[in-house]
């Protein structure tokens, strides 16, 4: 034990002198002590001196350093490859029994000598039950975890029980190098002889396809010992063959083929396809001859309805622009022929609503919650504009005026190209009712009015925001002349197409209002847990958690899973765990203030098939691990040789560690007890001997 202090020990000398001086001056004129015998005087004074000196010592911050020695037994870690490829070989049937014998004998022989630990390793590492069911193998992660968790510990040795195959991560030799002086003993499983087989190695396809479009599918095949043999590659959809090709492998022992298909997306939703190759005689495994893949087919077309009371060249100009976009479905109809069907309509362009304005039709359009682009020309009066209730006031008269456009540099809701911005000032004027107009301050102005060189503050093209959708207003007719002007100046309609296309696209971007929102992945694999997040917003767009949200999950086989979201802060969360491969549909529902809110959707869970492709073991990796770490390589059936070797290894031994502890003198309770005894004892003796 050593004494340490932040100050020099020589400070004890002045501390002692100061304590002695204080004691002397305190008792030098005490008359009642003259009657006491010498030993009583010295006893009282020594107690005063000792208490003062002890307090001075405590103020110096003295620390006691103690040295302790402890023995740590060597840690012996067994890593068991828990991946499903461990069951792909002839000796797979005996692995469980051999592993049980290994555990028993290891414990019997070395439980007193070693600290025994067993981990599983596959897609993850940990102390999980050995079931040989994990869908991928990452041997590197096991050695990295040992290095992190047992850093500066006495890791005497590692036994790796594996077939040597890994399909995730890097070669485990690099991670094992960080475990200096730790031998790795490898116990191999499986046969290293390549088997006669051919299989689907990979299927590549886009996750998303558009309705009625074609999408590519690329299938990679591998074969071994099937030189010159032919097979048929087919793609099935709903049990029917939709495409197939015949291929012939080369004469070499191992061959690789790539087959390409073009499939048509003819049905909306998540579609299940299956790539299949015909079986060949003598194949080692038939499980790898087929593989499912999934394509989400979406109908990305937006339906745009053009309505007007009479034919007009403006409507032809709009229709020509919008029909060029293959994602738009455009319908142009006269008001008298319209059946007021708003099903799946994403945007309405209403030309001159003041002509034969029917309040019921206006109510039908505005209550549908669909954005509307109004073209207000000389046939729409100020009274008609007021009836539309679109956030616009006009004091227009019976006269008309020509209004030229100019771009609003403060507009930033969407971007226009510089070519488009610079061309706006050259566009011909629109014809509108004469008079000033007023719009809400929240309106977004794209183009202002201009008369000659005079720029007005009145808007020409602008947008107003409702509770759920945006509306657009073009204050004037004659936009067909803009299209004609663009062709005269540039010999194309690119500027006009960009301007109208951006306006239509901006209006069709919906505002999210109150209600239920659900977020979950569209695509995941069998090794991932499905975590669903939901939120609910009230009319003030504040997240609330008072409604109870139910969640229903349905597999493609019709199995039903019902659960309820748990509240996590201001949102809801639900963990559905790992799911088997397939297509799933879901439904989330809740009721708030008597109104029911529902969200539905679908997603896919893909199976990880990496382990099915392993038909032979990779003992080269295991031998490399053992050689570089001064370990040894054995088969699992010969585990006793490794156990015998452990008893002869001098480098796997108990290590003695020297630990140092530092304790402040203030931490010892007995010091305060001694100080109390000295002070209390002095007080008692003074009273006992006559001090009052």
pLDDT-flagged residues of the chain (< 70): 1-7, 64, 91, 300, 466-468, 510-514, 539-541, 609-615, 663, 665, 690-692
Q: Which residues make Cβ contacts (< 8 Å) with residue 668, sequence separation at least 6?
A: none
Alpha-carbon gap, residue 388 to 358, rounded angstroms: 10
Closest CA to 103 of 76, 66, 123, 141: 76
pLDDT tens digits, residue range 34-78? 777 778 778 888 888 888 888 877 777 777 677 777 778 899 999
Sheet containing 430-433: give its strands across: 328-334, 302-308, 345-351, 372-375, 470-474, 454-465, 444-451, 400-407, 430-433
Going through 376-422 in order, the beta strands assigned E by DSSP cover: 392-394, 400-407
* Topology alike, domains 74-193+616-653 and 197-298: no
- Domain at 302-508, CATH from 3.40.50.300, 3.40.190.10, 3.40.50.920, 3.40.50.880: 3.40.50.880
For the domain 197-298, what is the CATH superfamily, name and number? Immunoglobulins (2.60.40.10)
Looking at domain 74-193+616-653, its CATH class is alpha beta
* pLDDT recorded at residue 233: 94
pLDDT at 336: 83
Q: Does domain 515-606 have CATH number 2.60.40.1930?
A: yes
> Can you give the residue ranges of every domain in the chain?
2-68+662-688, 74-193+616-653, 197-298, 302-508, 515-606
Helix or strand run (H / E) with residue 172: helix 172-176
- Report the distance separating Cα 155 and Cα 318, nearest Å: 76
Per-residue model confidence (pLDDT) at position 496: 92
pLDDT at 105: 93
């Amino acid at each position: 034990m050593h004494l340490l202090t932040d100050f020099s020990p020589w400070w004890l000398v002045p501390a002692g002198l100061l304590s002695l001086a204080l004691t002397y001056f305190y008792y030098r004129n005490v008359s009642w002590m003259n009657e006491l015998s010498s030993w009583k005087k010295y006893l009282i004074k020594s107690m005063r001196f000792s208490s003062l000196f002890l307090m001075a010592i405590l103020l110096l911050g003295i620390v006691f350093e103690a040295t302790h020695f402890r023995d740590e037994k060597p840690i012996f870690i067994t890593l068991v490859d828990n991946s499903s490829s461990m069951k792909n070989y002839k000796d797979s049937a005996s692995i469980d029994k051999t592993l049980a014998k290994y555990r028993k004998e290891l414990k019997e022989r070395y439980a007193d000598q070693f600290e025994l630990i067993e981990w599983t390793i596959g897609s993850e590492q940990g102390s999980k039950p050995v079931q040989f069911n994990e869908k991928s193998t990452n041997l590197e992660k096991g050695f990295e975890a040992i290095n992190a968790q047992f850093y500066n510990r006495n890791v005497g040795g590692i036994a790796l029980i594996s077939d040597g195959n890994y399909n995730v991560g890097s070669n485990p030799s690099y991670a094992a190098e960080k475990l200096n002086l730790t031998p790795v003993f490898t116990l191999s499983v499986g046969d290293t002889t390549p088997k006669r087989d051919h299989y689907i190695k990979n299927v590549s396809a886009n996750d998303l396809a558009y309705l009625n479009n074609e999408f590519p599918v690329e299938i990679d095949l591998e074969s071994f010992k099937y030189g010159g043999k032919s097979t048929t590659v087919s793609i099935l959809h709903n049990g029917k063959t939709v495409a197939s090709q015949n291929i012939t492998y080369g004469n070499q022992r191992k061959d690789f083929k790539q087959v390409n298909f073009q499939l048509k997306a003819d049905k909306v939703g998540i579609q299940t396809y299956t790539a299949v190759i015909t079986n060949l005689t003598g194949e080692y495994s038939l499980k790898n001859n087929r593989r499912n893949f999934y394509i989400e087919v979406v109908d990305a077309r937006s339906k745009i309805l053009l309505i007007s009371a009479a034919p007009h060249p403006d409507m032809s100009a709009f229709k020509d622009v919008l029909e060029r976009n293959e994602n738009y479905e455009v319908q142009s109809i006269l008001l008298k022929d319209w059946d007021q069907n708003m099903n799946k309509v994403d945007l309405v362009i209403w030309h001159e609503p003041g002509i034969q304005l029917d309040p019921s039709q206006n109510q039908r359009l505005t209550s549908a919650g669909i954005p509307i682009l109004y073209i207000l020309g000389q046939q729409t009066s100020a009274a008609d504009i007021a009836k539309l209730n679109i956030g616009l006031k006009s004091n227009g008269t019976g006269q008309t005026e020509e209004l030229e456009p100019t771009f609003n540099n403060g507009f930033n809701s969407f971007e226009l190209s510089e070519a488009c911005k610079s061309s706006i000032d050259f566009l011909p004027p629109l014809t509108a009712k004469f008079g000033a107009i007023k719009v809400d301050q929240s309106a977004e102005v794209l183009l202002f009015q201009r008369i000659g060189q005079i720029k007005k503050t009145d808007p020409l093209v602008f947008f107003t925001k409702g509770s759920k959708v945006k509306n657009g207003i073009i204050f004037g007719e004659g936009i067909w002349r803009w299209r004609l002007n663009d062709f005269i100046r540039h010999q194309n309609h690119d500027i006009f197409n960009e301007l109208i296309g951006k306006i239509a696209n901006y209006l069709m971007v919906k505002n999210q209002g109150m209600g239920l929102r659900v977020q979950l992945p569209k695509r995941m694999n069998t090794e991932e847990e499905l975590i669903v997040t939901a939120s609910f917003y009230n009319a003030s767009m504040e997240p609330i958690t008072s409604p109870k949200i139910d969640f229903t999950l349905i597999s493609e086989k019709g199995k039903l899973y019902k659960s309820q979201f748990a509240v996590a802060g201001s949102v809801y969360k639900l963990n559905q765990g790992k799911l088997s491969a397939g297509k799933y549909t879901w439904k989330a529902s809740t009721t708030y203030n008597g109104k029911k809110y529902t969200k539905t959707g679908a997603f896919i869970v893909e199976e990880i098939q990496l382990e099915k492709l392993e038909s032979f073991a990779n003992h080269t990796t295991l031998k490399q691990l053992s050689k570089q770490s001064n370990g040894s390589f054995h088969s699992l059936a010969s585990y006793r040789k490794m156990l015998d070797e452990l008893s002869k290894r001098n480098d796997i031994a108990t290590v003695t560690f020297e630990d140092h502890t530092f304790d402040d003198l203030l931490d010892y309770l007995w010091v305060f007890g001694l100080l109390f005894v000295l002070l209390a004892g002095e007080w008692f003796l003074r009273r006992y001997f006559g001090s009052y």
